[in-house]
Structure 1
Amino acid sequence: MSSCTDLLHLNEKGLFKDIKASLSSGTKETRNILEIRDNVLYVWNADKCCMLTLNVAATRGKIGEDVPYQTLRPTDPPIFEVTNVLINDSATQLALWSRLGIAIIELPKRWGKDAVYEGGKKEILCMNHNFGDFGATTEIQRMRWHPGSTNDSHLLILTSENSFRLYECDLGDAPRLVKCWKVGRAPSSSPSKIPDFTSLGETAVDFDFATPTLRKPEMFVDKNIDEETIDWNQIEWPILVLRGNGEVLIVRGNVLLENCENPVVLGSLSMYPSTDDNYGIDSCSIMCLQTTPPIVVVAMCTGKIYHAILLREILDDDDDDRKTWSQYGSNYSLHTPDDALYVYECVELELGLLFTDDDKKYNCPIHLHCDKGNKSRYFCSHNAGIHMVSLPMVSQLEELIHDNSGNYLPSLLNQSVLQYLFSTRTKHTNIDEATPILGFGLLQEPCVLIALLHTGIVIDLSVIDLYYLPRIEQLEPIMNTAKKVNKESFDVYIKKLLRRDISQPITKIGSRSMSLSESLELLYHATNIFRTQHFVRHDKVREEISKKVRALKALKSHLLKELDTLMETKKELRQTAERLAERYEDINDKQKELARRAEEVLRLVNYKEPLMTSIERAEAEELKKMDMKIHDMQIRLEQLKKKSAQQTVHTNSTEFNEKRKEIVFTHNQEEAAKENLCHMAKNIKNLVDQVKQIKAEISLSYISKQ
């Protein structure tokens, strides 16, 4: 397989080998049995009635290896042929559906390496619930997960009887019908395949959710919505319903509230500017981009796509009589809505690789796919291949919202750009030859398109948007917006140069061999497109890049010289700083030495001063008094010492006499001796304390004098 169409080498993986072997050759219409969510690819194997999953992000680092895939086997496989796979945003439930029935599969938990299901078990049995008993003549037109569901479990289904059915699919429980309401009268017969011009005018063929709004905005007229706490039940998600004749209905009301009445179905939206054919009679799909205001995309089976902005309709006073009821039978009526669609452009897809304007055009249903990572583009899959449509209006609306001056208005000069990514049909393909797209998915960061062709071949292309100009955020607010100048970056300038009106898609026309004349015509057509649209622009880009490189080289050499000069200056500054630091240390040491000498001189001057201050005189008098007290204390201390020596001699003699003769004291003599001894001990203690105090005072006085 060529690496330009299989960057991840998915055709070499065992999963897609099994899928290729299980595909039926009788598929005529484009379907979508492939889905990607959180880097995990889900694809339905119709032969074994199971869901195969593969972590596509893990294959990027293992190009030469066959990464094992997991099998999710439902407990009750559906008996109808699965044509579409739809997973909810939280990746907890997966819906398999076709026109005849729906199956809800509860996905298991993911953990372990590469975040695989149940740690990497090869085959997992999953609980599922089948339902779809809508009637023998009722078919499913479209189904979507409701974005306003708090637990991401509400499924909205549009049937061929012009009615909606809302189911709540809680984990572990069977789906429960919450609400059912009509959006038009039931057709006389069930429609078959699109386009069926006998019933397109009376049947709703597709729907999508618009941006959320408040149910009762008049309650918040005088309040700041940013500061108010809004109840979740006050938010509604309007539903845009597309009919086959091009009419767009709008359904308002919070359909998730069970105790609330049925939603209000408003009549067909006015489309401006008005046309005779009401913008086509073979509409097939609708999509609402979540912008402000929302952009509505309506696709026709002929390849025409209309881009419109959903806005509140401004009416004159003469149009008040238009606010009436539109009757559709005896038991059904529609209100006239207050909103309108303002169509600002129409683009036409090239369904198949046509070489001239005289070639017979091919018609088929168009399936629209949004890009969750980039609101400024979407993709179209059909029986002739895949297109990518870039919308510059999205970035202009963002500029309009962030422009506070009110002087900015979107321009219609920057029209949307079509890119034919790859084609499965040419003008030589037979009209009854089936070339549908069986699967479509987007792998984000970076964006890689993965598509499953009718031949079983997988196409994975890296998608680059050359037409989206991101809005540059200012780091600081600009006060004067009139003098605001935005410099165009070089990559944006190169993107503008690479813009082209016609793209050359990669051709995948199956195994049918082409004649020499057909191959030569295809070669001439591709060569002409490359010469006029690619090579000229690439040469211009090469010249601009070379010019930019020369300018950057000259700037680089100048900056290198400036860098050398700055390095020399830095070296000189470092040397000067070191020299100044050494001088500072020397000066600091000298200053400290001078301060110490000044303190010593001041002390000596104060010490040799002939006159004393009053404080010093008072202290001298105090010292004299203390000296006299000390002298008296010393005399008394000498007396005490003499008396103590006498007492010692007397005690010794007394002990000697006691040894010789026992002396017996009377009671009065003992008491008198004890009292004398106690009195003498107290006197001695007081004298010792006074001596210690006098010594301490003498020491303090001497220190203060010094």
Structure 2
Amino acid sequence: MSLTDCFELNKAKLFEKIRHGLPIVQKTQNLLDCKDDLLFAWDAKDCCLLVRNWRTPLTEAAGAKLAGVQFQTLIPSNTVSLDVDRVLVSNEGSLVALSGEHGVCVLELPRRWGQDGYYKDGKERITCRSFSLDSQLFLSSPQLEVRQVRWHPHSVSDSTLLVLLNNNTIRVYNHSKLRHVWQVGPSILRAGGNSSLTDFGEVAVDFDVAPAGKPKESEPLEDKNNTLNQNNKSLQNKKCNVNQEKIEWPVIVLRENGNIYVLLTGLDSEMTRLQGPITITPQVQDNYGLESCALMVIPSLPPTIVIAESNGKIHHALLMEAEATEHSFSEVDDFLLIEPSQYVIHVLETVKLELGLAAPSRKGVENPIYLKRDLINELRYFAYHDAGLHVVSVSFIAELQRYLESESQEDRLEMAASSSAEYILCTKFESSDRVNPVFGIALLQMPAGVVLLLGSGQVISLKLVIDAKLLVTPSESKAINVDSDLPDCGTTFVDTIKSLLQRSVNQPILADKLVAPSATESYELLNQAIEVLREQYLKRHDLVRAAFARHINQIQLKRDQQLQEIQDLEQERELISERAHKLAERFEEISDNQEVLVRKCHALMQKANVALPSNVVAERDFIQEVNRLNSVTQILATGLQTAKNTINKQRYHIAKSQDDLKRNAYELPEKQHRTITEILTQLASEIDRQITDVKRINKIVGA
């Protein structure tokens, strides 16, 4: 098993097939996606979707050949003519969105059954229904480009797709039907020409859906031209009142200049409310996000917004409700109505990513960054670009959760821990313009892992730790606590070691190069690696060794002191044992004397009670009554026993007489019994006939 291919996917037939048809344009894109145990990959050569159960190799025996289905080919029913650069599976795994720069196609996935849970029992080739979204619109408007595609996270039918275009509109589709068109900014493209607004970064580049909230009553807006009459205002108020009961989903929209807007709208509603640009605090001189390229919302409480810039900066901020609504400046487009913003964004920290290894000419080079959430660990997300992959851990989200779950009113919110960014994979470590971008990234679950497809065709599959805290067992964390005599009693030795080992730069995995490096490039790379190892690893290990030495000396000193205390305690225990033995003997002696005294007291009490003149008659009467009741009870018991004996004797005689009767009973022969029965029957019928005759005669005589 290779260290860079833990799931052994590099030799899989699926990647061997798509390796020959990788896109010619070397830019970061995502041609992979994973849902449950199925790994999806787009084959650009045959324009079809390949599917593989990535868990199947894990269940096979070591060295055994894979049998059965290697992968399945899902062929779209309609020809996909666009250059797909993004594969996105829906939340429930029923649809796949195939997005390109000039169009979007949706593929319906078939049912799963059979061995390993493949589609249609592992059929090798399956034709799936597909449909293009607004193909005529893209044909008639070549300048239109797709900026972002996202499935709505709370679609009941799992078929609501949001598509952001470069004309500042979000088009909402349900299957193949266009439901809504939401305007999120001024109209950029007019009359077939480009607007000058693109020079000012007014184009929306990304969006994400934040957790839903109950809509608030908004203040009535004044029309810019004062052309609305009172009737229209009343009608608008009625519509607003109706929509108050519906749930609004805040759609966070990021523009290229760093301005952020919030589009409040229902899942199936034409009515939208645009607010922004949202105030970003604290204010800085160089502003935030001058070259913004990606945005992501982590559904914490309050929601966490991640803003990425193409220069490698990533801002972590919180989306909070403002104390008072703020009016925004007027947009250039007069047809766009913007409400006062009821939100504010507070930036907590900024993380700087290293876009490639130490080539001096690469410093300051801008590189589009793409973000991807980790569904297993919400405190972590991934940032991939032309130079590799970073994993970023957001520390303050855990502190927010702890503060919200705390029931103590005196608890304070302290977000002192800073987030960390680890350079996992580096694909750019030379000074030339050649790049080896990420062509696809997919996150695996159970076991957790990440799969990367590079522009060179290489497949990187790595295992991930679900939670970094799992690396330290509870026994280890208890075994190495800081001395309670130290000034900082709340800090553990594990935290101290972690702080010493924490580094700002790490040595990532180096991907295979497209061409053989020159001697100068190899020498620069070697020097850079040696410098990183020396400054970020070896020096920190020396500090950790010194910390361990100090800690060991403290533990030895404590151990000697504790051994001496144990000896003293053993001596005290012997003395206490001797004293306890003597006290036990004394206690037994006192207990025996106490029993003797109690018996004497009882005897004296009886004698005193008998000697009392007022109680003699009563006691004598009581004794006589007891004796009388005793004699009566004995008489009744004797009578009861006599009655029982008599009943038993009678039962015996009755049973004996019944047995004698059974033995002396006379039984007629069967023939005689039958004859007598017939005679009696005839007599009964004759009597009935005579009775009838008598009744008839009586009627005649009486008549």
TM bin (shorter chain): 0.5 to 0.7
Cα 1:200/1:17, change in 2 over 3 Å: farther
- For 1:423-446, what per-residue CA distance to the aligned partner results, in whole angstroms no more than 9, with x for missing partners? 11124122xx24221000111233
8 Å Cα contact 2:377-2:467 kept in structure 1: no
- For 1:219-264, what per-residue CA distance to the aligned partner results, in whole angstroms no more than 9, with x for missing partners? xxxxxxxxxxxx997332210000011000001121x23xx44211
8 Å Cα contact 2:76-2:128 kept in structure 1: yes
Please say which of residues 260-269 and 236-245 is displaced more in the overlay.
260-269
Q: How many angstroms apart in 1 are the aligned matches of 2:423 and 2:7? A: 21
Q: How many angstroms apart in 2 are the aligned matches of 1:621 and 1:336? A: 102
2:439 maps to what in 1? 438
Q: Is residue 425 of structure 2 the alignment partner of residue 422 of structure 1?
A: yes
2:509 maps to what in 1? 506
Q: Is residue 82 of structure 2 the alignment partner of residue 80 of structure 1?
A: yes
8 Å Cα contact 2:458-2:512 kept in structure 1: no
Structure 1 residue 403 displacement after superposition: 2.1
1:44 maps to what in 2? 42
The aligned length equals 529
Q: Which amino acid aligns with 2:275?
A: L
2:212 maps to what in 1? 212
Cα 1:524/1:66, change in 2 over 3 Å: farther
Identical counterparts, % of pairs: 32
Secondary structure of 2:318 counterpart = strand
2:531 maps to what in 1? 528
User: Structure 2 length normalisation: TM-score?
Assistant: 0.68
1:391 maps to what in 2? 394
8 Å Cα contact 1:268-1:336 kept in structure 2: no
1:459 maps to what in 2? 460
2:680 maps to what in 1? none
**Aligned mate of 1:335, from 320, 339, 342:** 339
2:188 maps to what in 1? 187
Q: How many angstroms apart in 1 are the aligned matches of 2:514 and 2:90? A: 36
Cα 1:267/1:614, change in 2 over 3 Å: closer
8 Å Cα contact 1:191-1:199 kept in structure 2: no
Secondary structure of 1:235 counterpart = coil
- For 1:76-110, what per-residue CA distance to the aligned partner results, in whole angstroms no more than 9, with x for missing partners? 13101111000111001111011211111111112
**Aligned mate of 2:116, from 114, 129, 133:** 114
**Aligned mate of 2:348, from 344, 347, 350:** 344
- For 1:168-197, what per-residue CA distance to the aligned partner results, in whole angstroms no more than 9, with x for missing partners? 11xxxxx1111112111211479999xx99
8 Å Cα contact 2:197-2:203 kept in structure 1: no
Q: How many angstroms apart in 2 are the aligned matches of 1:141 and 1:191? A: 19
Q: Which amino acid aligns with 1:181?
A: W
1:102 maps to what in 2? 104
1:138 maps to what in 2? 144
Cα 1:524/1:215, change in 2 over 3 Å: same
Cα 1:532/1:278, change in 2 over 3 Å: closer
Q: Which amino acid aligns with 2:464?
A: V
Q: Which runs of 5+ in 1 are unaligned?
A: 170-174, 219-230, 474-484, 559-610, 631-706
8 Å Cα contact 2:289-2:307 kept in structure 1: no
1:606 maps to what in 2? none
- For 1:516-574, what per-residue CA distance to the aligned partner results, in whole angstroms no more than 9, with x for missing partners? 222122112112212222244456668989989x999x9xxx9xxxxxxxxxxxxxxxx
Secondary structure of 1:502 counterpart = coil
8 Å Cα contact 2:351-2:419 kept in structure 1: yes
Cα 1:216/1:622, change in 2 over 3 Å: closer
Q: Is residue 187 of structure 2 the alignment partner of residue 178 of structure 1?
A: no
1:294 maps to what in 2? 303
8 Å Cα contact 2:188-2:197 kept in structure 1: no
**Aligned mate of 2:28, from 20, 27, 30:** 30
8 Å Cα contact 2:276-2:328 kept in structure 1: no
2:482 maps to what in 1? none
2:376 maps to what in 1? 373
Q: Which amino acid aligns with 1:414?
A: A
Cα 1:176/1:360, change in 2 over 3 Å: same
Q: Which amino acid aligns with 1:346?
A: T
- For 1:669-701, what per-residue CA distance to the aligned partner results, in whole angstroms no more than 9, with x for missing partners? xxxxxxxxxxxxxxxxxxxxxxxxxxxxxxxxx
**Aligned mate of 1:243, from 255, 258, 263:** 255
Secondary structure of 1:500 counterpart = coil
Listed as ranges, the matches of 1:638-677 within 5 Å are: none
Cα 1:268/1:9, change in 2 over 3 Å: same
1:674 maps to what in 2? none
Structure 1 residue 280 displacement after superposition: 3.1
Secondary structure of 1:202 counterpart = coil
**Aligned mate of 1:272, from 278, 281, 298:** 281
2:315 maps to what in 1? 306
8 Å Cα contact 2:436-2:514 kept in structure 1: no
Q: Which amino acid aligns with 2:305?
A: V
Cα 1:520/1:615, change in 2 over 3 Å: closer
1:150 maps to what in 2? 156
1:354 maps to what in 2? 358
Structure 1 residue 471 displacement after superposition: 14
User: Structure 1 length normalisation: TM-score?
Assistant: 0.68
Cα 1:455/1:327, change in 2 over 3 Å: closer
Structure 1 residue 206 displacement after superposition: 0.5
Listed as ranges, the matches of 1:495-644 within 5 Å are: 495-508=498-511, 510-537=513-540, 616=635
Structure 1 residue 114 displacement after superposition: 2.0
Q: Which has the larger radius of gyration?
A: 1
Q: Which amino acid aligns with 1:300?
A: E
Cα 1:417/1:467, change in 2 over 3 Å: farther
Structure 1 residue 330 displacement after superposition: 2.6
Structure 1 residue 313 displacement after superposition: 1.9
8 Å Cα contact 2:28-2:438 kept in structure 1: yes
2:51 maps to what in 1? 53
- For 1:339-380, what per-residue CA distance to the aligned partner results, in whole angstroms no more than 9, with x for missing partners? 111011111111111256x85332111100110111111111
Secondary structure of 2:75 counterpart = strand
8 Å Cα contact 2:296-2:307 kept in structure 1: yes
8 Å Cα contact 1:384-1:423 kept in structure 2: yes
Structure 1 residue 155 displacement after superposition: 0.7
Q: How many angstroms apart in 2 are the aligned matches of 1:286 and 1:349? A: 16
- For 1:4-48, what per-residue CA distance to the aligned partner results, in whole angstroms no more than 9, with x for missing partners? 111122111111111111113x22321001001102110000111
Q: How many angstroms apart in 2 are the aligned matches of 1:288 and 1:618? A: 93
Please say which of residues 493-502 and 149-158 is displaced more in the overlay.
493-502
8 Å Cα contact 1:466-1:499 kept in structure 2: no
